[in-house]
Amino acid sequence: MKILNIMKKEFEEIRKNKYFKYIVGFGIIMKVIILIIFLVPLLSFSQELVIGEERVEPGIVLIFEGAIKDVIEPKSNNLSVEETNVHIEARVNWDSVNIPDGTPPGGFVPYLKISSIIYNEKTGLKTFIDLTPHINMIDNFHYARNISLPGEVDELYTVEFKINAPHEFDLAFHKDWLEKFGKDLFQNISFKYKNVDFEEIAKASRD
């Protein structure tokens, strides 16, 4: 207690110093500068276009995005940055509320078969892709694919996502799950979004 009282008195003396408010202000400014230095690269690196967001029972959240094209390995299965316009993503995770017992909130949902069709609304040309499991330092596990748009980057597109539950040979169900939710993780479903503008994302770079 004696030490605390001494420290308190010393702090009061410092507060009476006419330069105290300038010292505090300078400290705040330095903290803001440090935050900007660290956050700006992260913000620019994680630039993404949210195409749509959905929730399907029993508590799975799907976020569909157009992200900046990226270098993906292995190169034998992924188009290079030079060959593509955007990185199509599906982030599929458990919700944080109203989810089955034992489910990790926000946890990645594996073994899904996700595909996408991108339609050029002007010409009718389309591109079909399968989204495969990816991992990075921003979204962690997700489904994605580098793609080349079927047209110019400044044209509008309709994007359809088809989400299929795991096949019976990919996922086994315990009795407790079967009794409450049945033999399917969820019913196969699709979502379609019109007038999607990829131009800003397509012209951006991760460098």
Query: In 3D, which of 90, 85, 160 has the Cα closest to residue 128?
Result: 160
For position 15, what pLDDT does the model report?
Answer: 64
Give the tens place of pLDDT for each residue, 161-189: 999 999 989 999 999 999 999 999 999 99
For position 11, what pLDDT does the model report?
Answer: 61
Give the tens place of pLDDT for each residue, 89-128: 999 999 999 999 999 999 999 999 999 999 999 999 999 9
Nearest-angstrom CA–CA distance, 19 and 16? 8
